[in-house]
Amino acid sequence: MENFRIGFIGLGAMGQPIVGRLLQGGYAVQVTDLSAELVASAKAAGATVAADSKALGVGKNLVFMSVSNATITEQIVSEPGGLLDSMDEGGIIIDLGTTPRNKCRELAGAAVARGKQFLDVPLSGSTPWALEGALAVMVGGDEDAFKRILPVLETFGDKIHYLGESGSGQLLKLCHQLAFMATLTGLSEAIAFGERNGQSAETVLNVLGDCVSPRHVIDFLLPMAEGSRFDQGDGSLKIFHKDLAAVLDSAEDTGITLALTERIYDYFDQAMTGGRESTSSFGVVQLARDEFYKNR
């Protein structure tokens, strides 16, 4: 096992369980986060603690970032005293978030110029998958760097895809987000349409579950349908609103028009500006219901 000196920035819903998997895999990990409570939890699990991201980079040859947006990612990497300044020569920076492809390429170029590597490594799954080490992992960037860190990735992912040049991991993550939200929106409209015509949400989902409709979305929705509470109020819809904007930005860069994506983005944009900032991703069902009844 290569002697990685690992840092981890961001201990949210994905970061915390991934740190746990790294520790269980026998790796020493130093962490930092704005939440003292999350830091304390990681420390109790066996991690050491750095005061901030600048201090964390010192002496590290592998640093993971699991932060909320590309602006924070760029700041952590490129600010004076940031990872490009503080990490060891040959160090590898891993971005687990959703960052626009062009920004990934920019950061990867800056890293190479400083004798380091930047890999975009977005994930698919949620906390239960992370806890079990069963995440899907999509990797873009230098292939030799990927091969070096593969054993580390295997502590939390069991479906790992190396996809080529910088930004390729993000491209496939955006493909996933597009497919997921298009499917979820379609199922939401199916529920609203079925209810308007006398069928319950449970009936619609049970029937579609025996058809072609992707099973995992239904696995999430069905327990919510049984309790008639699709909107969990966690504000996660804004994450997909952001990711769909990234899909459209990437589509524009490559000269392709995605009409459905544009419509879905407009739909979510209206929700974000219409007092639904706390809506969860599965609250799309209620949005579809409201739209259906408003026009009838």
pLDDT per position as a tens digit, 105-159: 999 999 999 999 999 999 999 899 999 999 999 999 999 999 999 999 999 999 9
Cα four-point dihedral sign 75, 17, 126, 232: negative
In this structure, the answer to whether residues 259 and 143 fall within a common structural domain is no
Task: Record the tokens describing residue 192, joined without a space.
Answer: 């609203």
Percent of the chain residues topping a pLDDT of 90: 61
1 within a domain of the structure (yes/no): no
The answer to whether residues 152 and 175 belong to one domain is no
Q: Which residues pair with 162 in a beta bridge?
A: 139
Q: Measured between alpha carbons, how far is 189 from 176 in angstroms, rounded to an integer?
A: 20
DSSP letter for 48, please. E
Q: Domain containing 156 — which CATH number?
A: 3.40.50.720
**DSSP class per residue in 231-287:** ---S-THHHHHHHHHHHHHHHHHTT---HHHHHHHHHHHHHHTTT-TT--GGGHHHH
Please indicate, yes or no, if residue 146 is contained in any of the structural domains. yes
Cα 117 → chain centroid? 21
Within a domain: 277: yes
Q: Is residue 293 scored above 70 in pLDDT? A: no
* Rounded average pLDDT over 212-226: 82
Residues 6+ apart with CB under 8 A from 253: 101, 102
Beta strands of 116-175 (E only): which ranges? 117-120, 123-124, 135-139, 157-162
Q: Tokens at residue 262, please? A: 């544009």
Q: What is the band of 218 on the pLDDT scale with cuts at 50, 70, 90? A: confident
133 and 197 belong to one structural domain: no
Q: Is residue 243 part of a domain?
A: yes
* Confidence band for 274, pLDDT divided at 50, 70 and 90: confident
Is 289 inside a domain boundary? yes
- 179 and 131 in a common domain: no
Q: Is residue 42 part of a domain?
A: yes
pLDDT of res. 41: 97
Q: Are residues 284 and 144 in the same domain?
A: no
pLDDT value, residue 295? 58
Of 221, 113, 243, 110, whose CA–CA distance to 170 is shortest?
243
Q: Which of 115, 147, 164 is the last residue of a domain?
A: 164
- 91 and 111 co-located in one domain: yes
Looking at residue 227, its pLDDT comes to 78
Is the distance from CB of 95 to CB of 74 less than 8 angstroms?
A: no
The residue from 144, 164, 184 where one domain ends is: 164
Residue 259 belongs to domain with CATH number: 1.10.1040.10
Query: Do 159 and 183 fall into the same domain?
Result: no
Residues 218 and 119 in one domain: no
Selection from 285, 284, 265 nearest residue 174 by Cα: 265
Number of domains present in the structure of the chain: 2
Q: Which is it for the CA torsion 120, 126, 127, 131, positive or negative?
A: negative
In which domain, by residue range, is 190 found? Answer: 171-294
Q: Which two tokens stand for residue 10?
A: 């961001």
**296, pLDDT greater than 60:** no
Residue 246's closest CA among 126, 109, 78, 97?
97
Residue 167 Rama label (left phi>0; alpha psi -120 to 50; beta): left
* Last residue of one domain, picked from the residues 112, 131, 164: 164
Whether residue 151 sits in one domain with residue 23: yes
Here the tokens at position 174 are 């955006």
In terms of domains, do 55 and 133 share one?
yes
| 76 and 190 share one domain | no
Pair 53, 78 in one domain: yes
